[in-house]
Amino acid sequence: MLRLLAAAPAAAGFAWTEAEAQQAHTHAQAAQTAARTTGTAFKPKFFNAQEWATIRVLVDIIIPRDDRSGSATDAERARVLDDIAWPAKAPPGLSHGVAFFNSFRDLTASGFWTSRMGIKDLAYQGNVFVPEWKGCPDEVLKKLGVV
What's the predicted TM-score (pTM) here? 0.44
Q: Which residues have CB under 8 Å from 44's CB, separation 6+? A: 51, 52
Mean pLDDT of 126-131: 87
What is the CB neighbour count within 10 angstroms for residue 88? 5
| Domain locations in the chain as residue ranges | 2-144
Residue 59 has a pLDDT of: 77
State pLDDT tens for residues 78-128.
566 777 888 888 888 888 888 888 898 898 889 888 888 888 888 888 888
Mean pLDDT of 6-33: 65
Residue 142 has a pLDDT of: 93
State pLDDT tens for residues 50-78.
887 887 788 777 777 777 765 644 447 55
Higher-scoring residue by pLDDT: 22, 97: 97
38 — pLDDT class (breaks 50, 70, 90): confident
DSSP state of 24: H
Mean pLDDT of 1-22: 59
Residue 72 has a pLDDT of: 41
Q: Angle of helix 95-113 relative to helix 49-62, nearest 10 degrees? A: 70
- In terms of Cα–Cα distance, which of 49, 42, 46 is closest to 14? 46
